[in-house]
């Protein structure tokens, strides 16, 4: 999807972001006294069983509250080494959620028209994930590890619809998300501005995870880890969502995914392009170097290990560890919470049909390049291209205080403790 298409989606999202959040209490992960300590995922909850004996994870599990609550992918610097917010920071999040709920308006006969959220404050009050400082939990500093030198070179040479200063001359200048093919994996498992629904279906030996934005995963479940790993596809076979094979460890479903479409975005062969493991469809804290612009490469060694643990009637903890030694200098791990909401409505993600924007961007860019060649317009550079703004986070976590430029900075941690 191109930027104009994205803006159109934002306009639509303004009308559908208001969803009811189940207000059931969850014991998914209580905040400890030591805010720099992340306890292990509790495994004492006993979920209902399906007729063939597997734990029953079926249902609708949107991660929309994470998006609406502005809990970011990487940890904002304000939180330092803490996995959890303080009471004062949590109150700031609550105040922002209360304001968003107060802005909610119902759609009417004039159009969609809705804005704000519904039930966000209740989610913060009943789900302890609302007190977490980020989705990323490893490395412990809450920041993504560095890219290897080889991967950094491919990242910097990469092309997508988000790269500052880049012209559009053909479809290979756009990434898989621009072209409505895939958000990529594991990027698809993290929230964005809209279409954050997840539905789980189960049948004997299978779990199907339906994602509202461009993706459905069919996970074959084996009797053991050894059987699942032995069933790995041949390396020559790849898929956008990879080859996912699962097994049960008690009540936790473990899923190993390999054979994700490999490649980079420096190539001019669209059939050899990969999707970035994290992209603009993820609320990460970017920089001008990495990981912005959807151009992080993926090697044939890329793999994930996910752990899905039901911790209450209305909560599933989703852990994901991503490793690709050719790209990242060490693995990284996220831990987020899926919240049950059977009233959540999936909206069709009709992205590809009538997706004329790549053609329009190419036509406009070629005309612009002709004007530049004729001396009628200044060249486009990273410095004068508004796409440079995509290096910054899409959202501001209200727990850190006012958005920069909109009020006084929050006090330092030692000042907060002194005031307490």
To the nearest 10°, report the CA torsion of 107, 108, 113, 115. Answer: -40
- pLDDT at position 103 over 90: no
In this prediction, residue 233 carries a pLDDT of 98
pLDDT at 164 over 60: yes
Q: In what order do the strands lie in the sheet containing 206-211?
A: 59-60, 198-203, 206-211, 215-222, 243-249, 252-258, 303-312, 315-323, 332-339, 136-138
At residue 389 the predicted structure's pLDDT band, cuts being 50, 70 and 90, is: confident
Banded pLDDT at 4 (limits 50, 70, 90): very low
pLDDT band, residue 382 (cuts 50/70/90): confident
Q: CA 317 from chain center: how many Å?
A: 15
Q: What is the pTM of this model?
A: 0.87
45 vs 105 pLDDT, higher one: 45
CA 319 – CA 293 distance, rounded (Å): 25
What is the reported pLDDT for 415? 47
Task: Give the whole-angstrom CA distance, residue 64 versus residue 229.
Answer: 32
What average pLDDT does this structure show over 232-249? 97
Flag whether pLDDT at 90 surpasses 90: yes
Calculate the average pLDDT of the chain. 86
Mean pLDDT of 324-344: 96
Question: Residue 84: what pLDDT?
Answer: 98
pLDDT reading at 387 higher than 90: no
User: Could you tell me which of 362, 311, 355, 337 has the C-alpha nearest to residue 26?
Assistant: 311
- Residue 88, SS3 per DSSP: helix
Instruction: Average the pLDDT over 355-372 and give the result.
Output: 91
> Distance between CA atoms of 17 and 116, rounded to whole angstroms?
7
Helix, coil or strand: residue 302: coil
Q: Tell me, what's the pLDDT at 409?
A: 56
Of the two residues 318 and 410, the one the predictor is more confident about is 318
Measured CA to CA, the distance from residue 218 to residue 373 in angstroms comes to 50
Mean pLDDT of 354-359: 82
Q: Are 156 and 343 in contact (CB under 8 A)?
A: no
Q: Is 312 in contact with 293 (CB distance < 8 Å)?
A: no
For residue 43 the two structure tokens come to 């495994």
Kindly state the percentage of the chain with pLDDT values over 70.
84
Q: Does residue 23 have a pLDDT over 70?
A: no
For the ranges 27-36, 209-218, 280-289, 342-351, which has the lowest average pLDDT?
280-289
Tell me what pLDDT residue 297 has: 95
Number of H helices and E strands in the chain, helices first, is 8, 10
> Quick count: other Cβ atoms within 10 Å of Cβ 340?
22
pLDDT band at 394 (very low <50, low <70, confident <90, very high): low
Please say if the pLDDT value at position 154 is more than 70.
Answer: yes
């Amino acid at each position: 999807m191109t930027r104009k298409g994205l803006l159109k989606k934002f306009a639509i999202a303004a009308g559908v972001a208001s969803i009811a959040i189940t207000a059931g209490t969850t014991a998914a992960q209580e905040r400890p006294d030591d805010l720099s300590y992340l306890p292990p995922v509790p495994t004492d909850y006993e979920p209902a069983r399906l007729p063939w004996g597997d734990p029953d994870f079926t249902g609708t599990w949107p991660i929309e509250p994470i998006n609406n609550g502005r809990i970011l992918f990487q940890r904002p610097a304000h939180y330092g080494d803490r996995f959890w917010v303080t009471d004062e920071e949590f109150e700031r999040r609550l105040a922002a959620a209360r304001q968003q709920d107060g802005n909610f308006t119902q759609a009417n006969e004039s159009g969609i028209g809705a804005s704000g959220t519904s039930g966000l404050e209740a989610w913060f009050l009943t789900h302890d994930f609302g007190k977490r400082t980020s989705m990323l939990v490893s490395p412990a500093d809450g920041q993504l590890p560095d890219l290897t030198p080889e991967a950094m070179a491919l990242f910097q040479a990469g092309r997508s619809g988000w790269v500052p200063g880049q012209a559009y001359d053909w479809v290979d200048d756009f990434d898989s998300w621009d072209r409505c093919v895939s958000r990529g994996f594991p990027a698809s498992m993290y929230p964005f501005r809209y279409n954050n629904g997840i539905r789980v279906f189960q049948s004997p030996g299978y779990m199907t995870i339906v994602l509202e934005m461009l993706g459905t995963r069919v996970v074959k479940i084996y009797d053991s880890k050894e059987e699942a790993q032995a069933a790995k596809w041949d390396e020559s076979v790849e898929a956008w969502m990879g080859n996912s094979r699962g097994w049960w460890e008690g009540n936790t479903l473990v899923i190993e995914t390999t054979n994700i479409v490999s490649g980079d975005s420096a190539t001019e062969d669209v059939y050899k392009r990969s999707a970035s493991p994290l992209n603009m469809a993820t609320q990460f804290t970017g920089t001008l170097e990495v990981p912005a612009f959807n151009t992080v490469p993926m090697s044939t060694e890329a793999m994930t290990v996910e752990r899905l643990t039901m911790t209450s009637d209305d909560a599933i903890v989703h852990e994901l560890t991503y490793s690709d030694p050719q790209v990242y200098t060490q693995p990284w791990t996220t831990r987020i919470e899926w919240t049950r909401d059977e009233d959540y409505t999936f909206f069709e993600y009709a992205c590809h049909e009538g997706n004329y924007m790549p053609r329009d961007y190419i036509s406009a860019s070629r005309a612009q390049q002709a004007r530049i060649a004729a001396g009628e317009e200044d060249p486009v550079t990273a410095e004068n291209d508004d796409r440079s703004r995509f290096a910054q986070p899409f959202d501001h976590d209200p727990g850190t205080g006012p958005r920069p430029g909109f009020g006084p900075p929050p006090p330092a941690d030692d000042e907060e403790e002194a005031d307490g």
